[in-house]
Homo-oligomer: A and B are copies of this chain.
């Protein structure tokens, strides 16, 4: 089994409360696969591990459950939710829809050159990483690209929703990073997308991004089937 490397995250302000700390710690452990899918723990155990009482742990768990990262069953504690192949399919459909809309909106807004620059920078970084055979760097640049695109669309609700589903799919993405065909098409697709945005061609931007995610969805589904990874 491939090892999942923790992806370095942006430095965050210190936790404002124990609830906040518990939430962030547990969320990180889940996204980094330190707590594997299916991992179970009782509230009391978590409290002990995190050095606090059950109260803040419970409140953090409610937040994580609402995000779909864990499930809380009375008397069985929390359980890190596995993401099934079917779930991944649904997530990619949903993301395809929302991100395509984001691309459309960005193109409609005809953003200034300095707003487009980070997209181009990310594209170049993906290219360079691919040539240097550095898949981790590639994945980070890819994430930067999509993140900036979603930020640029101006719809904060849409952006927040996209982030939530990225989180749920994070593990599977990292896992399949080295199992799937080299993402040689992605860079081209991103370049095309940027071109459509610069032209203000909203329909093209939407369609390029839709096709981009659709291809990703198919590749992922194929891998999960090939490796019999029904869930992760």
Contact = CB atoms under 8 A, between A and B. Distances in A.
What DSSP secondary structure best describes chain A's contact surface? Answer: helix
B158 A90 contact: yes
Copies of this chain in its oligomeric complex: 2
A98 B94 contact: yes
Interface residues of A, number: 23
A158 B94 CA distance: 6
B59 A157 contact: no
A4 interface: no
A105 interface: yes
A53 interface: no
A58 B35 CA distance: 27
Interface in A24-76: 58-59, 62-63, 66-67
10 contacts: A59-B59, A62-B63, A66-B66, A90-B155, A90-B158, A91-B157, A93-B155, A94-B155, A94-B158, A157-B165
Given A66-B66, A93-B158, A98-B98, 4 more contacts: A58-B59, A62-B66, A90-B158, A94-B101
